[in-house]
Amino acid sequence: MPPQSVVVFKVNQIGDAICFLPVLQKLLASKGVGSIHLWTTPAAAPILACDPSIQVHTLPLPAFNGAWKNPLRFFQIVKTTTHARPDACLLDWDQGNVAHLAAAMSGATHVIGGTNPNVRLNGRLRYRSVPQPDTRTPQWCWDIGRLFADVVLKEPWEATPPMPDLSHLTGPTHSICRTPHSPVLIHPGASREYQRWPIGRYLELASLLVKSHPVTMVQPRELPPIEVPLGVSMIAPTTLAQLATAIASSSLFIGNNSGPMNFAIALGIPSVVPWGPTAPNWAAQWHPERHLSLIRKELPCIGCDTRNKDSQCHNDQELHACMRRWQTHEMLTECLRWHDQWSTIPQ
């Protein structure tokens, strides 16, 4: 019997929400699903609340994952979840112990999710999908959705995830006018410092690029106010819809491993991103040929991404080496080359 109610746990940041969005949109399109209840963060809610029928419940990420230390908050999470009377719960691979325990206590017949070595309660999942290390994060999300579709919906899904539909943020993308003369968009922000190329070099890069191309720089919320070079435009989006539309309207995206980068990938915008030598699962899932990851091959990965409790660079010999070794003139060369390569190819 198809589930009348499904509770989905995807409590995380912007980039992670974009990777998961195709799963949620596929569930919405399935005739076998009744109501969908979604646990997420206030930051990611505008992305995942892609249809008014989704009943959205939000908590900031630290508050949700730390609810085991706050009995009243944890009780409210469990109460809200059980009140949905779910027939099934779906947890993405990056959900923590609180999500696993709330799903286990929900009364749902089926609890399906992805295994995570940092979670002690993987055993609470009745059906588990194991992320494959050589595949990309959207594929991990999609494989969990495929398991859910197979077990609960009894319907086959295609092997790979479709591109997410972000039109609830941008409007119809075919109506956006993007040409080779559209601005180059620079977004120097990222949630973690070790993922950021130095802001001073972004400003140097903008001052050089603007000599030959229109350049717009985004003021990230996590950085102090930026004073842009002469001729460079500045925007400070107050909503994800404004940010997504600005990215969709650009001829080239330049930025860090971040939520805005995931917007660019999902929208098919050519992009140049300096990366640390991180795991391959964060490589571009959609239109990978348009995404240029700049990685210092001579630097071994020391696993800063896996030590997510402190979110700091762990290279004690040369702090932020994987970012700082990229000089401005190198970035300029790569950005001009990438812009020229894609400016004559239909988007």
The structural domains of the chain, ordered by start, are 5-153 (3.40.50.2000), 168-343 (3.40.50.2000)
Inform me whether the pLDDT recorded for 246 exceeds 70.
Answer: yes
Determine the angle formed by the axes of helices 240-248 and 259-267, rounding to 10 degrees: 50
Inform me whether the pLDDT recorded for 28 exceeds 80.
Answer: yes
Inform me whether the pLDDT recorded for 194 exceeds 50.
Answer: yes
What pLDDT, on a 0 to 100 scale, did the predictor assign at position 131? 73
Q: What percent of the chain has pLDDT over 70?
A: 84
Backbone angles phi, psi at 8, to 5 degrees: -110, 130
Within 120-268, where are the H helices?
A: 137-148, 167-170, 199-209, 240-248, 259-267
pLDDT band at 329, cuts 50/70/90? very high
Closest CA to 38 of 57, 18, 60, 13: 57
Within the chain, where are the H helices?
A: 14-29, 45-48, 61-65, 71-83, 97-104, 137-148, 167-170, 199-209, 240-248, 259-267, 321-324, 328-343
pLDDT band at 307, cuts 50/70/90? very low
Inform me whether the pLDDT recorded for 315 exceeds 70.
Answer: no
**Mean local confidence (pLDDT), 128-157:** 87
What pLDDT, on a 0 to 100 scale, did the predictor assign at position 136? 85
pLDDT band at 325, cuts 50/70/90? confident
**Mean local confidence (pLDDT), 249-256:** 94
The predicted model scores a pTM of 0.89
Report CA 34 to chain centroid distance, whole Å.
26
**Mean local confidence (pLDDT), 94-108:** 92
What pLDDT, on a 0 to 100 scale, did the predictor assign at position 274? 86
What pLDDT, on a 0 to 100 scale, did the predictor assign at position 320? 63
Inform me whether the pLDDT recorded for 175 exceeds 90.
Answer: no
Backbone angles phi, psi at 144, to 5 degrees: -65, -45
pLDDT band at 99, cuts 50/70/90? very high
AA letter at 194:
Y
What pLDDT, on a 0 to 100 scale, did the predictor assign at position 31? 77
What pLDDT, on a 0 to 100 scale, did the predictor assign at position 346? 53
Q: What is the mean pLDDT of the chain?
A: 86
Q: What percent of the chain has pLDDT over 90?
A: 59
Report CA 110 to chain centroid distance, whole Å.
26
Residues 36-90: tens digit of each pLDDT: 999 999 999 999 999 999 999 999 999 999 999 999 999 999 999 999 999 999 9
What pLDDT, on a 0 to 100 scale, did the predictor assign at position 283? 67
Closest CA to 228 of 246, 212, 214: 214
Backbone angles phi, psi at 234, to 5 degrees: -125, 135
181 CB neighbour count, 10 Å cutoff = 9
Inform me whether the pLDDT recorded for 124 exceeds 90.
Answer: no
Determine the angle formed by the axes of helices 328-343 and 199-209, rounding to 10 degrees: 50
C-alpha 187/C-alpha 253 separation (Å) is 8
